[in-house]
């Protein structure tokens, strides 16, 4: 179903996790390009980039290389659309309401665009939930419920941090690890029991740390000029906490990634021994972390920052 990629051929990528590419990457890339066109039509003042594009494949094909294609296409559609909203209009509460309830209109404190434009925008989301349920009446409601939880947690905490460990705990809520983990489970048709979730807690915490720090390391060149009411990146936190230069702080964070990857691999190898479901879960998370690392280290979004 997928092709292994030799990470040693990409010197900018330093991950220790495996990387594979989905056999239907072209289908995923085509759908993402269609979404770009739809957003360009609905928001003529906003020219959306292809957020998920990369020279070695779209991020969904790299992070979910073994996913069942119908389910993965829907996950990619949801995530890409949500990404556009995050970039363009930041209407998380209204998106959550529309996506889950299937409302014909959205009202909420975050709604700050004209109603007609908003109704056009949410048309992209309108039928996603129904199509997911058509594909999987049993598992799709489980995934949708967890997407709601993610949107709630994303907006739950704002502010700045003086210590990198405090920042990482905050980012664990909104880095998107659980969205990716849950999407992976749905795409592979595996679901952890309560006991398996308990057993995987340390592994998931460590994996989230890898995802957070990897994202921050590669996205810093894009985010360092942005102004926000929430902490966007851990590199300035390290600079402040340890009185470091930007260059030294990046090296520090890189070391944190290497250490976090080692711990995650060790925890994963032990966790795999408990059940076949946990074995598949760990292998799926390893592929998410490896695919995200290669994509982040090479994608135009993080590596072609306009001067």
The reported pLDDT for the residue numbered 123 is: 59
Confidence label for 229 from pLDDT (cuts 50, 70 and 90)? low
The two structure tokens encoding residue 103? 């409302």
The reported pLDDT for the residue numbered 17 is: 99
CB 54 within 8 A of CB 295: yes
The vertex-224 CA angle with 222 and 225, nearest 5°, equals 90
The arithmetic mean of pLDDT across residues 231-248, rounded, is 95
Residue 5, helix vs strand vs coil: strand
The arithmetic mean of pLDDT across residues 220-245, rounded, is 88
The vertex-35 CA angle with 230 and 130, nearest 5°, equals 90
Confidence label for 41 from pLDDT (cuts 50, 70 and 90)? confident
The arithmetic mean of pLDDT across residues 272-282, rounded, is 98
The arithmetic mean of pLDDT across residues 143-159, rounded, is 73
66-80, 119-133, 269-283: lowest mean pLDDT where? 119-133
Confidence label for 147 from pLDDT (cuts 50, 70 and 90)? confident
The arithmetic mean of pLDDT across residues 267-283, rounded, is 98
Rounded distance, CA 238 to CA 217, Å? Answer: 12
Residue 96, pLDDT above cutoff 80: no
Confidence label for 105 from pLDDT (cuts 50, 70 and 90)? very low
Name 4's bridge partners.
20
> How crowded is residue 251: how many other Cβ atoms within 10 Å of its Cβ?
13
Q: Give the residue from 58, 63, 98, 104 showing the smallest Cα distance to 82.
A: 98
- Average pLDDT of the chain, as a whole number: 85
| Per-residue pLDDT tens digits for 174-208 | 888 999 999 999 999 999 999 999 999 999 999 99
Confidence label for 114 from pLDDT (cuts 50, 70 and 90)? very low
Residue 93, pLDDT above cutoff 90: no
Residue 235, pLDDT above cutoff 50: yes
The reported pLDDT for the residue numbered 271 is: 99
Q: Domains in the chain, ordered, with CATH?
A: 2-303 (1.10.600.10)
Structure-model confidence comparison of residues 39 and 31, the more confident one: 31
**Which residue do the tokens 């890409």 mark?**
80
The arithmetic mean of pLDDT across residues 163-174, rounded, is 91
The reported pLDDT for the residue numbered 64 is: 98
Confidence label for 251 from pLDDT (cuts 50, 70 and 90)? very high
Rounded distance, CA 257 to CA 206, Å? Answer: 10
Dihedral, 124, 119, 230, 234 alpha carbons, nearest 10: 10
Confidence label for 18 from pLDDT (cuts 50, 70 and 90)? very high
The arithmetic mean of pLDDT across residues 278-306, rounded, is 94
Residue 46, pLDDT above cutoff 70: no
The reported pLDDT for the residue numbered 36 is: 80
The reported pLDDT for the residue numbered 154 is: 65
> How crowded is residue 165: how many other Cβ atoms within 10 Å of its Cβ?
12
Rounded distance, CA 293 to CA 215, Å? Answer: 8
First to last CA, the chain: 40
Dihedral, 238, 241, 242, 244 alpha carbons, nearest 10: 50
Confidence label for 71 from pLDDT (cuts 50, 70 and 90)? very high
Q: Which residues contact 250 (CB under 8 A, 6 or more apart)?
A: 217, 220, 235
Dihedral, 230, 236, 242, 245 alpha carbons, nearest 10: -170
**Distances from the Cα of 284 to the Cα of 68, 184, 189, 275, angstroms:** 13, 7, 12, 14
Q: Per residue in 265-292, is it b (16+ CB within 10 Å) or e — as a string? A: bebbeebbeeeeebebbbbbbbbbbbbb
The arithmetic mean of pLDDT across residues 271-290, rounded, is 98
């Amino acid at each position: 179903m997928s092709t292994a990629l030799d990470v040693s051929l990409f010197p900018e990528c330093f991950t220790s996790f495996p990387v594979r590419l989905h056999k239907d990457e072209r289908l995923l890339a085509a759908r993402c390009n269609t979404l770009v066109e739809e957003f360009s039509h609905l928001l003529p003042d906003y020219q959306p980039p292809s957020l998920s594009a990369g020279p070695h494949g779209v991020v969904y094909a790299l992070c979910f290389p073994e996913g069942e294609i119908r389910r993965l296409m829907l996950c990619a559609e949801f995530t890409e659309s949500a990404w556009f909203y995050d970039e363009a209009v930041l209407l998380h509460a209204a998106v959550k309401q529309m996506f889950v309830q299937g409302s014909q209109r959205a009202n909420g404190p975050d709604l700050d665009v004209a109603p007609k434009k908003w109704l056009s925008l949410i048309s992209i989301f309108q039928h996603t939930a129904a199509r997911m349920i058509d594909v999987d009446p049993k598992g799709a409601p489980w995934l949708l419920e967890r997407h709601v939880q993610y949107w709630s947690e994303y907006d739950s905490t704002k502010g700045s941090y003086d210590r990198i460990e405090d920042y990482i705990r905050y980012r664990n809520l909104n880095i998107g690890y659980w969205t990716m983990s849950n999407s992976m489970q749905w795409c592979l048709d595996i679901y952890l029991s309560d006991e398996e979730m308990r057993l995987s807690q340390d592994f998931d915490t460590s994996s989230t740390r890898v995802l957070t720090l990897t994202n921050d390391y590669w996205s810093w060149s894009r985010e360092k000029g942005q102004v926000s009411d929430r902490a966007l990146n851990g590199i300035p936190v390290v600079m402040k906490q340890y009185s470091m230069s930007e260059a030294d702080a990046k090296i520090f964070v890189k070391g944190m990634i290497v250490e976090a990857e080692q711990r995650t691999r060790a925890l994963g190898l032990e966790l795999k021994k408990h059940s076949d479901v946990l074995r598949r879960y760990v292998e799926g998370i390893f592929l998410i972390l490896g695919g995200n690392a290669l994509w982040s280290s090479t994608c135009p979004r993080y590596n072609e920052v306009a001067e």
